[in-house]
Amino acid sequence: MTELLQHLVNGLSLGTIYALIALGYTMVYGVLKLINFAHGDVYMAGGFAGYYVAGAIGAGDRPSVLKAVVVTLGAMILSGLLGLAIERAAYRPLRASPRLTALITAIGVSFLLEYGFQLQPIAWLGVPFPPGPSPRFFPDLLELGPPFELAGVSVSKIDVIGFAVAILLMLGLQFIVYRTRLGKAMRAVSFDPRVAGLMGIPVDRVIAWTFFLGSALAAAAAIISASRMPRIDPLFGLMPGLKAFVAAVLGGIGSVPGAMAGGLLLGLTEEYVAGYTVSSFRDAIAFTVLILVLLVRPQGLFGRTTVEKV
């Protein structure tokens, strides 16, 4: 029983990270009908951004709540800006091109980030950027002490805080998407960008905001993840990125509640399957889920089927 609950706890922690990343995928797909392959690497960059900010303000040496907040917000903003830059430079020029072209470009940007970050640090920068291929260790942002023990289940404090932060962010996003004009504009663009533009919606700006928000959420996910597992390296976004994409598809790509549900569901599935069967198949689980979803119910849990007009 405790094992079951432990997996539940772990699955939820994992799931919230997937959910936060998946939101970025789903929002971008919603407005651009593009799978942003580079999103996992924006997550990675967010983690490193937090690392650098933490280094700059000395959050590792003398942690405090304020510094933790600064690190998190700093990472989110920097990541958001990165997302904006990518959209502007790589995706916007290809708006009218076939989807395949944009997809390949996204893959190119992804590689650029992964391998760019693996280059050796530039000497005269002062900051060790790019971080190089060796892993770095993310500092403890808060002095938290030992984990809670509830009914034999170990729940680390960072899991609790991470979960809370994630839920807060997701609620925040829900609010933005469903209660603000920006959100309404985002939803309009996701239905039909051309018509939305004709209705006076500043499509470019809306898309830019979408990228900003998605990337910021990914950075938050990275901070939470790095606080749980401090070892970060330029490729640490690859797998979570792909899995989060699976989560987005599972929930119904283009659907915001879908991404959240898909993320949690995938996290739990991965935990339970890996826990009770062969754990080295962990990564393949996500892909198996993906294939099953696409074969059985391609629109995912919350997605809508699109019918092509002949």
Q: Binding residues for another protein, per CB under 8 A?
A: 34-35, 90, 93-94, 97-105, 107-112, 114-116, 118-120, 133, 242, 245, 249, 278, 280-281, 283-284, 287-288, 290-291, 294-295, 298, 307-308, 310
Q: Which is nearer to another protein, 135 or 230 (CB)?
A: 135
Pair of tokens at residue 175: 């609010």
Residue with tokens 């009914």: 151
Alpha helices in the chain (DSSP H): 2-32, 39-57, 65-86, 99-116, 157-179, 181-191, 193-198, 203-228, 238-251, 256-276, 282-296
35 vs 53 by CB, closer to another protein: 35
Distances (CA, A) of 179 to 20, 174, 187, 221: 19, 8, 11, 23
Least distance between another protein and beta carbon 15 (Å): 20
CA distance 36 to 29: 7
**In the complex, what is the shortest distance from the CB of residue 157 to another protein, in angstroms, rounded to a whole number?**
33
Q: Which is nearer to another protein, 168 or 291 (CB)?
A: 291
In whole angstroms, the minimum distance from the beta carbon of 250 to another protein comes to 12
Write down the least CB distance from residue 205 to another protein, Å: 22
Residue placing its CB nearer to another protein in the complex, 175 or 281: 281
Q: How far is the CB of 82 from another protein (least distance, A)?
A: 15
Where residue 251 falls (left for φ over 0; alpha for ψ -120 to 50; beta otherwise) is alpha
Pick the closer one to another protein by CB: 109 or 207.
109
Q: What is the distance between the alpha carbons of residues 123 and 125, in angstroms, rounded to a whole number?
A: 6
